[in-house]
Amino acid sequence: MTESTIAPAEVGHVACIGAGVIGGGWVAHFLARGYRVTAWDPADDAAEKLHRLVELAWPALTELGLAEGASRENLTVAATLEDAVAEAEFVQESAPEDLDLKRDLLARIDAATPAGVVISSSTSGFTMTEMQDRCPTPQRLVVGHPFNPPYLIPLVEVVGGESTEDWAVRWASEFFEVAGKSVITMDREVPGFIANRLQEAIWREALHMVANGEATVEQIDASITEGPGLRWPLFGPCLTFHLAGGEGGMAHMLDHFGPSLKAPWTRLEAPELTSELRDRMVDGCEEASGGRPIPELVAERDQAVIAVMRAMQQVRGTR
């Protein structure tokens, strides 16, 4: 199969298959970025729900700044899947998480989509290798995993399956960047990708705590919104802990808290803290922080926490 003939930056027309919370969120995002969007969803009330979702998202998108030419008028709801993708220059599939359904649906999409057009799936956890095996041209299928709501959260994780060709992964990553997303391109398939594995670990621990009566839903949420949740928008878990080690950074943190790693603090088993893993974390933090000294990072983190707290006070104050 040959590489797509259209450049990522030249795409003007996107098809969205499936128009629930995620698919509809993609529709809102692409509309706001100035694309023409053709959507299709088998549900009877899909068009109505989709329009409601776009209405609900539009004030936020307007506030963020619409792209030139962006308009809700650029949305067409197609009568069939085949109509929806017939002239698409990119296709995003966001059907329910049902492997068999997705395998069939992606095969149908693939059969109906013009040659060379990249098809991306919003799946939250299936690998493309599992999903692409019924497709006539699986080479152009990738995972493009967004976060809710896709019209606001920048992250998209891009990864191909065994039958995906490299150009499709590259094309999709570039397209998503052009379309205003933050892209993580993965070089291998990992169930749940990256962010879902991390948030799923939190989620499962939370469910265990609620199941055991150790904490309530309200306590769990407060423990994040009043605690680590205020730090993560700036630095993420690694650089956050880089700052927990004082001026010694990640190295001191791992050497000091290393033994606690085995403590029964979560039901998730700890990995062996080998010297190799230790070095990988230390070097990774050095790299991710651009080698900036800890006091500079601390000052920036403090600014970020204050800004986040103020923003939350303002948002909550308008209730």
Looking at residues 226 to 255 of the shown chain, list those that interact with a copy of itself (rule: CB under 8 A): 226-239, 241, 243-246
Question: Which parts of 127-156 interact with a copy of itself (CB under 8 A)?
Answer: 147-149, 152-155
DSSP summary character for residue 259:
G
Residues 253, 242 contacting (CB under 8 angstroms): yes
Min. distance of Cβ 13 from a copy of itself in angstroms?
26
What backbone torsions phi and psi does residue 103 show, to the nearest 5 degrees? -60, -45
Binding-residue pattern over the window 56 to 85 for a copy of itself, x denoting contact by CB under 8 A = xx-xx--xx---------------------
**With contacts defined by CB under 8 A, how many residues of the chain interact with a copy of itself?**
124
- Residue bearing tokens 């104050």: 317
Q: Which stretch binds a copy of itself (CB under 8 A): 84-92, 135-143, 167-175, 293-301?
A: 293-301
210 binds a copy of itself (CB under 8 A): yes
209 binds a copy of itself (CB under 8 A): yes
Candidates 200, 184, 137, 190; CA nearest to 163 is 137
Min. distance of Cβ 51 from a copy of itself in angstroms?
14
Min. distance of Cβ 143 from a copy of itself in angstroms?
14
Among the listed residues 44, 218, 275, 291, the single contact to a copy of itself using CB under 8 A: 218
In the three-class reduction of DSSP (H, G, I as helix; E, B as strand; rest coil), residue 260 is classed as: helix
Q: Would you say 86 or 184 has its CB closer to a copy of itself?
A: 184
Among the listed residues 1, 7, 190, 293, the single contact to a copy of itself using CB under 8 A: 190
Per-position b or e across 289-299, b if 16+ CB within 10 A of its CB: beeeebeebee
* Residues contacting residue 305 through CB under 8 Å, at least 6 positions apart: 230, 231, 234
Taking the CA atoms of residue 74, residue 77, residue 81 and residue 86 in that order, the dihedral angle to the nearest 10 degrees is -30
Q: Would you say 111 or 305 has its CB closer to a copy of itself?
A: 305
Min. distance of Cβ 77 from a copy of itself in angstroms?
18
Q: How far apart are the first and last CA of the chain?
A: 54
Among the listed residues 3, 20, 34, 134, the single contact to a copy of itself using CB under 8 A: 20
19 binds a copy of itself (CB under 8 A): no
207 binds a copy of itself (CB under 8 A): yes
Report DSSP letters for 92-147, one per residue: EE---S-HHHHHHHHHHHHHHSPTT--EEE--SS--HHHHGGG-SSGGGEEEEEE-
What backbone torsions phi and psi does residue 182 show, to the nearest 5 degrees? -100, 120
195 binds a copy of itself (CB under 8 A): yes
Among the listed residues 21, 43, 101, 115, the single contact to a copy of itself using CB under 8 A: 21
Helix (H) or strand (E) holding 222: helix 217-225
Residues 84, 15 contacting (CB under 8 angstroms): yes
Report DSSP letters for 40-71, one per residue: E-SSTTHHHHHHHHHHHHHHHHHHH-PPTT--
Rounded distance, CA 183 to CA 50, Å?
A: 25
Question: Which parts of 251-280 interact with a copy of itself (CB under 8 A)?
Answer: 256-257, 259-261, 263-274, 276-277, 280
Question: Which parts of 82-111 interact with a copy of itself (CB under 8 A)?
Answer: 96-97
Min. distance of Cβ 88 from a copy of itself in angstroms?
25
Min. distance of Cβ 291 from a copy of itself in angstroms?
13
Q: Would you say 44 or 188 has its CB closer to a copy of itself?
A: 188
Min. distance of Cβ 146 from a copy of itself in angstroms?
9
